[in-house]
Homo-oligomer: A and B are copies of this chain.
Amino acid sequence: MRLSVEGCQARRARLIAQTPTEWIIITNPRHLLYCTPLELSSWGSNFLVINTRSGHTTLIAHSFIQNTAMTAYYDDLVLWRSYDAYHAPTGDWFQGALAQLNLFTQNYGIQQAACEFGWLPHGLLVEPTLDLTPILERMQRQKDADELALIRHNVHVVEAGHAAARQAIRPGATELDVYNAICTAMTHTAGKPILPLGDFVSGERAFHIGGPPTDRVLKTGEVMIVDLFPVVGGYRADFTATIAVGDQPTESQHRLADALHAALAAGEALLRPSESTRAIYEAVKSTLDAQGYEGSFPHHTGHGLGLGHPQAPYIVADSTETLLEGDVITLEPGAYGPDFGARIEHNYLITATGYERLSNHRTTLV
């Protein structure tokens, strides 16, 4: 499952429409995926050159990824070779890639281009005249159908991870046991290896928001925070549950879980286009404050999701953004203190009239 040719075509057309320069050079692997639709991040240093007048597009890629590159959407392909597991390397991979890009722009007389300013290598011969990063980031806030299909697929993968976590969390298991059960379930659901990023913290480790799994043994009466945000096909889903070990939550754990659900509902009630993200932050925080958790909610209320994690909109105290139709966001109220810690989280698509909740995992303690 990946982005569609039609989707890439539409996104390129929108990018071209916002770019007054004759040439565009894309270097950030996320945006190569957005436009080609190649997942090339692991090999780096591939470039997409677009002529905005004709729409003609050239992919400059390393021969190591030839088979993958053949499946992409472009007009011309420039394959170059350094080390390929057959011949001795001809020099540094990254310098070799840049030399190919410089050769191409010189051959075509390209002197200026719109580029992602944060993603340009030293030694680029073209003069970067317009920063595409803000344009591409703004475009990413309104998801296309093929992007939403990928995100929904990832949501199913993460739901499978959460179901496996509920099975695996029991007294005597380690955080790593739970992690392995989650990874197995997510890989089976994705049908391929994924990058299983997340937080996997139990007991007193849950009092400090998150972290990787360890060999810590779970004990009855504790909780474990499971926050899963794997990368599947380049896109993210990101949602959390806090689960009781031994199915006997304490009264204070119940009280905190109730407060988090009330805070989430307060945030959900504001999810619609044009709503201020600062107002959403305030609604969630004031609900937690009112339930006695002042000073216990240190992090963002949520953020945008997609090719990036986090990405705009940022739902924080000093935000100046408003929601847009097509945003995919997460809300994640949490509270942490000297002897408690919990977080719940769902993902949402902002629709014309409000929102659609994308995630359907259980967020209760048991």
Which of B87, B191, B298, B317 is in CB contact (< 8 Å) with A317?
B87
Question: What residues of chain B lie closer than 8 Å to A316, measured between beta carbons?
Answer: 85-88
Closest B residue to A200 by CB, please name it. Answer: B193
Chain A, 253-311, CB within 8 A of any chain B CB: 298-300, 310
Q: A320 at the A/B interface (Cβ < 8 Å)?
A: yes
CB distance from A172 to the nearest CB of B (A): 15
Q: Is the CB of B192 within 8 A of A214?
A: yes
Given the known interface contacts A93-B118, A316-B88, the answer about A191 and B212 at a Cβ–Cβ threshold of 8 Å is no
Q: Is the CB of B215 within 8 A of A193?
A: no
Copies in the complex: 2
Question: From DSSP, what is the main secondary structure of chain A's interface residues?
Answer: loop
Q: A221 at the A/B interface (Cβ < 8 Å)?
A: no
A92 to B191, CA, bound (A): 34
Chain A, 184-229, CB within 8 A of any chain B CB: 184, 187-188, 191-193, 196, 212-215
A314 to B88, CA, bound (A): 6
Given the known interface contacts A118-B95, A191-B176, the answer about A318 and B87 at a Cβ–Cβ threshold of 8 Å is yes
A86 to B209, CA, bound (A): 13
Question: What residues of chain B lie closer than 8 Å to A336, measured between beta carbons?
Answer: none
Q: A66 at the A/B interface (Cβ < 8 Å)?
A: no
Closest B residue to A120 by CB, please name it. Answer: B122
Given the known interface contacts A179-B193, A196-B193, the answer about A85 and B299 at a Cβ–Cβ threshold of 8 Å is yes
Besides A83-B314, A192-B214, 10 other CB < 8 A contacts?
Answer: A83-B310, A85-B300, A87-B318, A92-B118, A120-B123, A121-B122, A122-B124, A122-B128, A183-B183, A193-B213
Q: Give the B-binding residues of A (Cβ under 8 A).
A: 83, 85-89, 92-95, 98, 117-124, 128, 133, 176, 179-180, 183-184, 187-188, 191-193, 196, 212-215, 298-300, 310, 314, 316-321
